[in-house]
Structure 1
Amino acid sequence: MGLIVKQHAPHYQWGDNCDGWHLVKTDALSVIQENMPPGTEETLHFHTNAQQFFFILNGTATFEKNGAYVDVGERQGFYIQPGEHHRIFNKTDHDLEFIVISQPMAHGDRTSVFE
């Protein structure tokens, strides 16, 4: 691997018109750039094995983690440990862009939490 450009990275859609681009995708490490339109959110869930670090590129994210809420702005990060119930919201009127790094890969290691 060498230079990685989002426009050439594998793309997928999730949730309600949210987008993701796999910048790095191995069993041991996942780096994804994601975009969430205004007013979108993900479902509450946890990962048994994966730890995650979210880094906000543009916009403000609202995270729920274990029942507490925190706003995270541009050039700020947020850490999730395995087993922590969490989700991300875009409660703003602008797109939210961020990088999520998972170790090991979080795909296939996700359990929904029913409220």
Structure 2
Amino acid sequence: MIINTKNTKYYQWGNNCQAWTFIQSENVIVKEELMPPHTEEQLHFHNETEQFFYILDGKASFLLESEKISLLKNEGIKISAKQIHKIGNETSEDLRFLVMSFPGNSNDRVNIQH
């Protein structure tokens, strides 16, 4: 079966951010997400889950622990388990990316309160 953003599970999060879940199993979760300009997610970590983010369009700003990293289109980054992080879009253009989570535990997120 061909999978795309029109025939898969969709939800909104944060400030008008969007996500499409392409694959969800106990081994992996694969999503495409879209963040409008000047949005960011909450700082958090995962106890056991590793993630890989791959930028499709736009420029992503990551906070990893206390280090700020920018990623451009066709660049990716691996986030280790227990690594404190968040992704943001500090530009005036949409940010579109793939995020893959290993293993596929959607309950393995711990938000960090400010």
TM-score (norm. length: structure 2): 0.97
* Runs of at least 5 residues in structure 2 that lack an aligned partner in the other structure: none
Q: Look up the match of 1:37.
A: 36
Matched positions, count: 114
Corresponding residue number in structure 2 for 1:61: 60
What is the one-letter code of the residue matched to 1:25?
Q
User: Residue 111 in 1 paired to residue 79 in 2?
Assistant: no
Residue 85 of structure 1 corresponds to which residue in structure 2? 84
Q: Tell me, in whole angstroms, the C-alpha distance in 2 between the residues paired with 1:62 and 1:38.
A: 12
| 1:4 aligned onto 2:3 | yes
Farther off after superposition, 47-56 or 100-109: 100-109
The residue matched to 1:6 in structure 2 has which SS? coil
CA deviation after TM superposition for structure 1 residue 28, in Å: 1.3
Query: What displacement does 1:11 show?
Result: 0.1
Give the match's secondary structure for 2:6: helix
| CA apart distance, 1:78 | 0.9
The Cα RMSD (Å) is: 0.9
1:21 aligned to 2:20? Answer: yes
Q: How far off its partner does 1:106 sit? A: 4.4
CA change 1:3–1:105 in 2 (3 A) is same
User: Retained in 2: the 8 A contact 1:20–1:35?
Assistant: yes
Q: Equivalent residue of 1:7, what SS?
A: coil
Q: Which runs of 5+ in 1 are unaligned?
A: none
**Alpha-carbon offset, residue 4 of structure 1:** 1.0
TM-score by length of 1: 0.96
